Structure 1
Amino acid sequence: MKMVFRWFGEGNDTVTLEQIKQIPGVEGIVWALHDVPAGEEWPMDKILQVKEAADKAGLHMKVVESVNIHEDIKLGLPSRDSYIDNYKKTIVKLAEVGVKVICYNFMPVFDWVRTDLHKELEDGSTALFYEKEKVAHLNLEEQVQRINANPNFTMPGWEPERLGRLTELFDAYRDVSEEQLFDNAKYFLEAIIPFAAKYDIRMAIHPDDPPWPIFGLPRIITGQANIRRFLGLVDSPYNGLTMCSGSLGANPANDIVAIVNEFADRIPFAHIRNVRVYDNGDFIETSHRTTDGTVDIAGIVNALHENDYEGFCRPDHGRHIWDEQCRPGYGLYDRALGIMYLWGLWDANRRKLQTGRMGD
């Protein structure tokens, strides 16, 4: 398992590369050009700026999250071919700087949805929260304003240029079914996967967050059966999965250990975080510790270890603790604690393999 840490770039992150470097076992950053709109070719000069900063800190930049898919590709519009061409041009540039994995998603309009970015937990920390009943009656314009209330941080999946077209996008998706979204994904994959393979970059689809339809929009990466179908659209090791325990874990029906066991050789990248799911369908993000949430984090790490996982892994969203002022879900402290918990599970598995028992 290769540990990495998401970084939003100079001037766009409260966490520095120097701090990331001090977290035990972290060898690289998960990065993106968050100021480049979806569909545009990434400029090489901006890519090289990230590479220069990473090199200076002694960190690699082998994982990109995300090269976003333009909505015209998801909608299957005639203009999609030009955006796919731009995607290919970006892949060429990323290969030049050593990128090996591109995490992306195929979610219409929204990459993720929460109703509260700072819901208080019992210990006084705060975390991202999803209230099912509120989502059913959510005023999207007001939510957009809340998400973008802090102009100092970009919020991935809620970019202003996309959200400024909400009415237009909802109209465009009105007649798009799950089947059509799968068809449009297949078109994209058939164009991109052979090209990515040529440049030895593995594409890794991120599950939908949450893993069910919202606001009348279709969702296709929601559970084991749909993941199996998606990976079969183009059956190639370069058509992979970003295993996100938090996204999949919001639906307790998802057996994430089974997902890891079935698709282990198709998981180049893993997001590991915990959520606590309530009986009414609400969920809140917790510490990474298994007993703090509903997700079997220990079982997931065990399954990765048993499958000799050699891909990249990062701690996903963390709580906001110790008065840290940061991008919601992306502070330093709780994610660093999460890494140490994941390493503890991993090391215990390694010791068990070596000695035949946990611990020593």
Structure 2
Amino acid sequence: MQMGFRWFGETNDTVSLDHIRQIPGVTGIVWSLHDMPAGEEWPMDKILHVRDQAARAGLNIDVVESVNVHEDIKLGLPSRSVYIENYKKTIEKLAQVGVKVICYNFMPVFDWLRTDLRKEMADGSTALFYERSKIEDIDPFELVERINANSELTMPGWEPERLAHLTSLFEAYKDVTEDNLWDNLAYFLNEIIPVAARHNIKMAIHPDDPPWPVFGLPRIITGQANLRRFLKLHDSPFNGITLCSGSLGANPANDIIGMIHEFADRIPFAHIRNVRVYENGDFIETSHRTADGTVDIAGIVQAYHDIGFAGYARPDHGRHLWGEVCRPGYGLYDRALGIMYLWGVWDAAERRAEKQVKP
């Protein structure tokens, strides 16, 4: 397992590369050009700038999260061809600097949804929280205002320039069904996977967060059966999954350990995080410690060890601890603690495996 840490850039993150390099076992950053609008071709000079910054800190840039997919591609509009060509050119450029994995998603309009970015927990820390009844009742425009008012740092998937067109986006999606979305995803994969394969880059789709429809918008990357269907859309080792235990774990019916074993050879990238799901469907993001949530993090790490996972992982979201001022979900302290918990479980699995092979 190769451990990474998501980084938003020197002027867009409270966490520095010097901080990241001090976390034991972290060998690379998980990065993106967050100022680039979805659908635009990435400039080589900006890519090289990130590569050089990471190299000076002794970190690799093997994983990009995300090269965002333009809404016209998800909608299947004729204009998608321009944005798909830009996507291909970006893949080719990223290959030139050694990128191995590109994480992306195919969620209409919203990349993820929470109702509170800093819900206070019993110990005084705060975390991202999803209150199901509020999502059912709230106007999506009100939610957008609430999310973008909470931080000076842009939230991934909630970029103001894109969400400024919310009215037209909802109008465009009003007749789009799940089957339409599947068809448009298949078209996209058939266009880009051959390019990714030529350049030895694995594409890794991120599950929908949360894994169910919201605001009447279809969502399709939600569980084991749909992941199975997704992988068959374009059966290639370069068409893979970013297996996110937090997104999928919001639905307790999802068997994440079973997914790790079934899709073992199609998981180039893993997000490992915990959530606590309540009986009414609410959930809050907790520490990575298994006992603190409802996701079996220890069992998940053991499953990755069992399959000989050599891909990339990151701790994903964390709580906000000790007064840290940071992008919601993306502070330094709890994600670093999470990494050490994950390594502890991994090291224990290594020790057990060593004992089993001794005569």
TM-score of the aligned structures, taking structure 2 as reference length? 0.98
Matched to 2:40, the amino acid is: E
- In the TM superposition, what whole-angstrom CA distance separates every residue of 1:215-241 from its partner, at most 9, and x where no partner exists? 000001000000000011000000000
CA shift, 1:314, in A, is: 0.2
For 2:146 and 2:171, the matched residues in 1 are separated by: 23
Is the CA contact (8 Å cut-off) linking 2:269 and 2:313 kept in structure 1?
A: yes
Specify the SS of the correspondent of 1:118. strand
Specify the SS of the correspondent of 1:356. helix
| Of 145-154 and 26-35, the range deviating more from structure 2 | 145-154
Task: State whether structure 2 residue 185 is matched by structure 1 residue 203.
Answer: no
Specify the SS of the correspondent of 2:328. coil
Q: Give the alignment of 1:12-27 within 5 angstroms.
A: 12-27=12-27
Matched to 2:207, the amino acid is: P
CA shift, 1:309, in A, is: 0.1
Counterpart of 1:77?
77
Report the RMSD for the aligned CA atoms in angstroms: 0.9
Counterpart of 2:140?
140
For 1:342 and 1:85, the matched residues in 2 are separated by: 39
Q: Give the alignment of 1:68-147 within 5 angstroms.
A: 68-147=68-147
For 1:54 and 1:247, the matched residues in 2 are separated by: 28
Matched to 1:196, the amino acid is: A
**What are the ranges of 5 or more consecutive residues in structure 1 without an aligned counterpart?**
none
For 2:150 and 2:138, the matched residues in 1 are separated by: 20
| Of 280-289 and 143-152, the range deviating more from structure 2 | 143-152
For 1:81 and 1:299, the matched residues in 2 are separated by: 43
For 1:320 and 1:206, the matched residues in 2 are separated by: 24
Is the CA contact (8 Å cut-off) linking 1:277 and 1:294 kept in structure 2?
A: yes
Counterpart of 1:50?
50
Specify the SS of the correspondent of 1:302. helix
CA shift, 1:161, in A, is: 1.6
Matched to 2:355, the amino acid is: T
For 2:245 and 2:89, the matched residues in 1 are separated by: 31
CA shift, 1:150, in A, is: 5.0
Matched to 2:137, the amino acid is: H
For 1:330 and 1:81, the matched residues in 2 are separated by: 34
Counterpart of 2:287?
287
Is the CA contact (8 Å cut-off) linking 1:12 and 1:152 kept in structure 2?
A: no
For 1:53 and 1:72, the matched residues in 2 are separated by: 33
Is the CA contact (8 Å cut-off) linking 2:204 and 2:268 kept in structure 1?
A: yes
Counterpart of 2:324?
324
Matched to 2:281, the amino acid is: G
CA shift, 1:254, in A, is: 0.2
For 1:130 and 1:33, the matched residues in 2 are separated by: 28
Specify the SS of the correspondent of 2:263. helix
CA shift, 1:356, in A, is: 3.1
TM-score of the aligned structures, taking structure 1 as reference length? 0.98
Matched to 2:174, the amino acid is: R
For 2:310 and 2:81, the matched residues in 1 are separated by: 34
Fraction of identical pairs, as percent: 73
Task: State whether structure 2 residue 187 is matched by structure 1 residue 187.
Answer: yes
Matched to 2:83, the amino acid is: Y
Matched to 1:114, the amino acid is: R
Is the CA contact (8 Å cut-off) linking 1:5 and 1:315 kept in structure 2?
A: yes
For 1:318 and 1:151, the matched residues in 2 are separated by: 16
Matched to 1:305, the amino acid is: H
CA shift, 1:143, in A, is: 1.7
For 1:182 and 1:14, the matched residues in 2 are separated by: 38
Q: Give the alignment of 1:271-350 within 5 angstroms.
A: 271-350=271-350
For 1:56 and 1:46, the matched residues in 2 are separated by: 16
* Number of matched pairs: 357
Specify the SS of the correspondent of 1:284. strand
CA shift, 1:151, in A, is: 5.9
CA shift, 1:139, in A, is: 2.2
For 1:118 and 1:343, the matched residues in 2 are separated by: 27
Counterpart of 2:3?
3
Is the CA contact (8 Å cut-off) linking 1:38 and 1:69 kept in structure 2?
A: yes
For 1:76 and 1:211, the matched residues in 2 are separated by: 22
- In the TM superposition, what whole-angstrom CA distance separates every residue of 1:233-268 from its partner, at most 9, and x where no partner exists? 000000000000000000000000001010011000
Specify the SS of the correspondent of 2:85. helix
